[in-house]
Amino acid sequence: MSNRKARITRSLEEIILHIDAGKIVALPTDTVYGFVVALDSPQAEERLYALKYREPNKSFALYVNHVEDIENISGSPLSPTARKLAQHFFPGAITLVVKHCNPKFPKGMLAFRIVDHPVVQEAVNRCGILIGTSANLSSFPSACTAQEVFTDFSDYDLCIFDGPCFHGLESTVVASDPLSIYREGLISRSLIENITETKATMLSKFYHSFSKHIKIYTVKNEEHLKSFLRKLSPFNGVICKHPKPKTFYSTLREVLKNQNSSVIFIYDVKNSAYPELFPFLSPYYI
């Protein structure tokens, strides 16, 4: 008999009760599924690190509903650049990293999200500030459905709200002073630079942690695919000819079930209806 502890619910009241009790829950967001826990819950961050098997040097975000909350928590007004980013992209798929002077937080920077999703917004309204992170095992593909979260964490005491994620790709993580991008996600570097009228620095070469487990190749068209397959023959992985944001991570999850754990995507940003996939597929062009 199964001893699974995780459960999927459509009751927001059940979710609120769990958050108020200090428990971690999984919620759909505008990007991918996220784990959240009340900021004042005992050992909140430590429990999130343990649940995800995440390295302790990686920080989490604070989920709030208003720009004023960011200023109150950080202890200072937003800089002009940060305010431009907030006004243009919040609520939405950006994680804003700011300096702070709040002694409650030992690290010098804080990351904030104002999530464009009614479930998360209601949870913040009723439970206060939440600590949030993506609802997946560290270095593995993100989850975009309640069932995917359940599959990964079925043995944990975890309540999962069943609802849609709107985009299926992660937020862009950006610091404002100086303008720096930690991770390019749904919101492109070029758009950020246009809005702020400032050149952004990529803090490191972009690297997807899931590529530790999956061999990814990207080609621009069918001719490139045929040429590449001749070199790889035989290729026993997955070929995805029409990648879409909402199915990108489910495709990677299917790839992991394949013994070969490799995938070829056909993607050319110039001809695609989904330019937002470019940061996720361009590092693997061959």
Query: What sign has the CA pseudo-torsion 112, 114, 118, 124?
Result: positive
Residue 177 near residue 86, CB atoms below 8 Å: no
- Helix (H) or strand (E) holding 182, with range, is strand 179-183
pTM, to two decimals: 0.94
Q: Strand 7-9 vs strand 159-161: parallel, antiparallel, or unpaired?
A: parallel
216, β-bridge pairs: 263
Token readout for 87 is 């006004």
**How confident is the prediction along the chain (286 residues), in pLDDT tens digits per residue?**
345 699 999 999 999 999 999 999 999 999 999 999 999 999 999 999 999 998 888 889 999 999 999 999 999 999 999 999 999 999 999 999 999 999 999 888 999 999 999 999 999 999 999 999 999 999 999 999 999 999 999 999 999 999 999 999 999 999 999 999 999 999 999 999 999 999 999 987 666 889 999 999 999 999 999 999 999 888 989 999 999 999 999 999 999 988 779 999 999 999 999 999 999 999 999 9
Residue ranges per structural domain of the chain: 7-202, 209-284
- Name the CATH superfamily housing domain 7-202: DHBP synthase (3.90.870.10)
Give residue-wise pLDDT tens across range 140-175: 999 999 999 999 999 999 999 999 999 999 999 999
> Which residue has 């002694």 as its token pair?
103
